[in-house]
Amino acid sequence: MKISAADNRVSFCRPGGRTCGRVILAAAVVLILCLPGLSDTIRKRNGMVLRGRILSENDAYVMFEWTQFGACVVKVPRKDILEITRGTYDPKRPVATRPAVGPKIGPDKDPADPKGKVLRFCHIPISGQIGIDVTADDFEAVVRNVLAYRIEVLVLHVDSPGGSAAHTEQMLAKMARLKGVRTIALVKRALSTAAVLAMTCQDIYMLPDGRIGQVLRFKGEAEPKTGAFSSATAAAFRTAVQAAKHPALLLKGMMDPNVELSVVTTGLKPKVVESAGEKVLGEVVITAKGRVLTLTGKEAVDCGLARGLVNGINDVTRTLGSDRPLFHAWKTGHTFMKNRTAANRLAFRQAKYLKSIAPQLAALDKQYKTLDAQARELIAERNTLKSKYQRESDRIEDEYNRRVRRAEEQYRREYPSALMRQSSPTLAARMIHDARRNRKTRIEDAEDDRDRSYRRIDGRYKDTFKSLDSRYRRLDAQARQVRAEKKKLLDAGPK
């Protein structure tokens, strides 16, 4: 229904008519224009603008669901926030309940349905060195999103040689927060601290060419030392592995080269035992004294550490055994972790490159400072010389002005009086002519003396000024060359 502005009469829209179509179009435009107002906006001090939803906040930071380019929960420190603009929401329905990209697996069910009609899972890669490519802060973002999106199964695709023990301990502590979340490790390569992270997961699946074990420090980019971990770190590793209900003897064999382990296969399930001396029937030695334990994919399955061999994530999802359809919640998490890994590796390479060229940069900076100091000395010397030249020029100008004033005064004295101009016009005219001629001569003499004085001081100072300017131009050219070399050195770094 609409009210006509012309005759104030009430008329009705006919279904399918032009008027009704226009009203619907206008309503759609208004709805589209009003959509941005539904989102909370955080404007950061660096100019970045985040749009999404504020989940929680305190005096230190704001937990923000960033939906502008996907769906991701981030922690924004208060000190980085310039302004917060709050939108309006329906509290009964979250904003980002569906993945930002990619189709949904299973029937058309709302993944936020509280009745649990779909099984929500997430697939995150753990690739590269822990502490360099994968950091504890990035893993904390993963855990926050797993909790925020109510994910029930978290799959970690591990392909890492290990890395920092400190970062690994922090990641294990964050894994402990995932109460009620089934954790699965899909292992291609899990060595050193990466093996501990994989064994913290409740279920382990191995790729056919996978390896897991050798829980020792390795001399890499993240760990400069080799050998065994400290007792406190080893205890933290044992606690995490035991909480996942994996054989503690396997971790012991992976950490201690003096342990000999065997697998007894006579029972219903394989059992890992610490053995020495004679072997009983059905006992297979998996590691001898003098070396730490590293298992292949098949060996991990045979000793009961892994549930089976798989070819990829699709095989893992088929083993979940749920009667509910699967939903890949926070699908952008896989891309988020890959991008963070690439960014961390680039930052590490750049820092490493800057460290390698630090002596060259220091030498260039020292050379530039020397050139700059010499240039400042030349500028100071030139300013001193310029001041001296200006003082002599001022004296010449003062002398010239004094002589011009004297010429004017003498001209006024020689100029005939009014009485003489009336009584003797002819004599007065001659006197006026002589007075003007004398004034002109005196001023011209003063100008000639001034010009000679300027030529004299110009000749005395010109070579000095020219020498200073030439030296300054040489220093400036050298400084530009040093800056160009420094820029070229910096531009040659990793990108």
Q: What is the CA radius of gyration of the chain?
A: 43
Do 460 and 421 touch, CB atoms closer than 8 A? Answer: no
Residue 172 pLDDT: 95
pLDDT tens, 270-290? 888 887 655 555 567 777 777
Whole-number Å distance between alpha carbons of 198 and 156: 8
Q: Is the pLDDT of residue 20 over 50?
A: no
- Please determine, for residue 37, whether its predicted confidence score (pLDDT) is greater than 50: no
Looking at residue 224, what is its pLDDT?
A: 58
Residue-wise pLDDT tens digits, 446-484:
999 999 999 999 999 999 999 999 999 999 999 999 999
Write out pLDDT tens, residues 380-431.
999 999 999 999 999 999 999 999 999 999 999 999 988 888 899 999 999 9
Contact between 414 and 438 under an 8 Å Cβ cutoff? The reply is yes
- Nearest alpha-carbon partner for 327 in 148, 180, 113, 126: 113
- Give the C-alpha separation, 469 to 473, whole Å: 6
At residue 50 the predicted structure's pLDDT band, cuts being 50, 70 and 90, is confident
Q: What is the pLDDT of residue 267?
A: 65
pLDDT at 261: 86
Cα distance between the two ends of the chain: 62
358-491 matches 119-256+291-354 in CATH topology: no
Tokens of 488: 């070229």
- Domain positions in the chain are 1-38, 119-256+291-354, 358-491
Kindly state the average pLDDT of the residues 125-139.
93
CB 53 within 8 A of CB 21: no
**CA-wise closest residue to 317 among 154, 207, 201:** 154
Q: What is the pLDDT of residue 118?
A: 85
Least confident of 151-160, 174-183, 214-223, 431-440: 214-223
Domain 358-491 carries which CATH code?
1.10.287
Which pLDDT tens digit goes with each residue over 310-322?
999 999 998 887 6
The per-residue pLDDT for 385 is 94
Q: Please report which confidence band the pLDDT of residue 258 belongs to, taking 50, 70 and 90 as the band edges.
A: confident
- Label residue 431 exposed, middle or buried (CB < 10 Å: 0-12, 13-18, 19+): middle
Could you tell me the pLDDT band of residue 110, with boundaries at 50, 70 and 90?
very low
pLDDT in tens, 167-188: 999 999 999 999 899 999 999 9
Give me the percent of the chain exceeding a pLDDT of 70.
Answer: 81
User: Can you identify the CATH homologous superfamily of domain 119-256+291-354?
Assistant: 2-enoyl-CoA Hydratase; Chain A, domain 1 (3.90.226.10)
Q: Is the pLDDT of residue 92 over 60?
A: no
Half-sphere exposure of 374 (CA within 13 A, CB side): 16
